Structure 1
Amino acid sequence: MEKYKISDSQLVSLYKNGSEEAFEELLKRHKSRVFTTIFLIVKDKYVAEDLLQEVFIKAIRTIKGGRYNEEGKFLPWILRIAHNLAIDNFRKDKRYPTIVMEDGSPVFNTMEFAEGSFESAQIRKETHVKLRELINELPEAQKEVLVMRHYMDMSFQDIAESTGVSINTALGRMRYALINLRKKMKQYNIAYDQNFYPR
């Protein structure tokens, strides 16, 4: 039980001195946050699981190689590794999800985009980045349902079971997530900008 009182930096030191259990504890503490960081960028469960392993392999190599110098800041450090690996992967994979608002209008319908100018491609890329940022700002419960529904393509039945709530609660969280997302998008003038849709 004492391990719960040990700080991340102490666990890193123990791992440097040969304690595999110390790294297992770091993994257990932060795996979920690291996975979420990756998943929100790559939007694919299997890709995220692969990248999660890469992140911790990179962390092991850095620590064992004596190049780790972020004492006391293990989580921000490993999240930065996760973010960078996920962004690199995302740049290779240009698929985007279609999130449908309450009134049935899509936020983006990227599969139907015509080949446009560099400028329109750049605007589109920046808008998708902003959308992911806005999703990240949602309350945890709402973000969780939105991600499961639109990024993992889960049914509300599965979402309810996974999160331990009723289907009505899951639907309610989804509704509020979309309402909040719409409000945030309106602030940035990206809610229903016709420039992002084929006419």
Structure 2
Amino acid sequence: MDYTAMKDAELIKLYIDGDEKALSFLINKHEQRIFSYILSKIQNRDLANDVFQDTFVKIIKTFRKGNYNEEGKFLNWALRIAHNLVIDHFRKQKRIPTVTPNDEYDIFKIIKDGSENAETGMIREQIEKDLHKLILKLPPEQLEVLRLRHFSGLSFKDIADQTGVSINTALGRMRYALINLRKLMQEHNMSLSLS
């Protein structure tokens, strides 16, 4: 069988139907690109090999469970899996110090560090995604003040004017928003990593 002429979707279907050689060809076809991506982030060949293997273990498990959905290209999907495993690797290795919630820090200062390399950039993006999901769980008035302050950069006086409340009320809503956000982080077992 000539695997070289086949598209990724055809190779995947053959593998799911029991053709192990189709999987080997698929891996060999994309190995260089996926491994290079992982190595560029981790910058250690042995660790990159581990993450690369974990990537394909996860891909194979997804195929075997019948959960693969050909929505886009296989390579993009595989790179997304590799990306998530690289982030998991950094978190497990604790190569970057983690911060636990307390009253002494501002969540938004942590994710806006100026010195960023590829590793910290990936982690920051993931933290921002996780944090935005939690922010949406805040009560509407707290969510509004938080958005106006941190995402629009308004002063508390401007927030008070725009929302029709006193400055003290705006400050109070922000304080409760941050307290509630810390509680949500603890409930969801989320920690923030410094870059």
TM-score normalised by the chain length of structure 2: 0.50
Residues 12 and 23 in structure 1, CA contact (< 8 A), matched pair in contact too: yes
Structure 1 residue aligned with 2:79 = 79
The DSSP-based 3-state class of the residue aligned with 1:54 is: helix
> Do the aligned partners of residues 20 and 91 (structure 1) sit closer, same or farther apart at CA in structure 2, a change above 3 Å counting?
same
Identity over the aligned pairs, expressed in percent? Answer: 39
Q: What per-residue deviation string (whole Å, max 9, x for no partner) do you get for residues 56-109 of structure 1?
A: 01100100110001256111111100011001112344659xxxxxxxxxxxxx
Structure 1 residue aligned with 2:70 = 70
1:127 counterpart = 2:150: no
The DSSP-based 3-state class of the residue aligned with 2:41 is: helix
1:42-61 alignment to 2 at 5 Å? Answer: 42-61=42-61
CA RMSD after TM alignment: 3.0
Name the amino acid aligned to 2:30.
Answer: H
Aligned-pair distance for 1:8? 0.3
Distance in 1 between the 2:35 and 2:111 partners?
27
Structure 2's unaligned 5+ residue stretches are 97-105, 123-195
Distance in 1 between the 2:88 and 2:60 partners?
20
1:6 counterpart = 2:6: yes
Structure 2 residue aligned with 1:141 = none
Name the amino acid aligned to 1:34.
Answer: I
> Do the aligned partners of residues 69 and 47 (structure 1) sit closer, same or farther apart at CA in structure 2, a change above 3 Å counting?
same
Distance in 2 between the 1:15 and 1:6 partners?
12
> Do the aligned partners of residues 130 and 90 (structure 1) sit closer, same or farther apart at CA in structure 2, a change above 3 Å counting?
closer
The DSSP-based 3-state class of the residue aligned with 1:69 is: coil
Structure 1's unaligned 5+ residue stretches are 97-116, 134-199
Distance in 2 between the 1:30 and 1:83 partners?
15
Residues 41 and 119 in structure 2, CA contact (< 8 A), matched pair in contact too: no
1:36 counterpart = 2:48: no
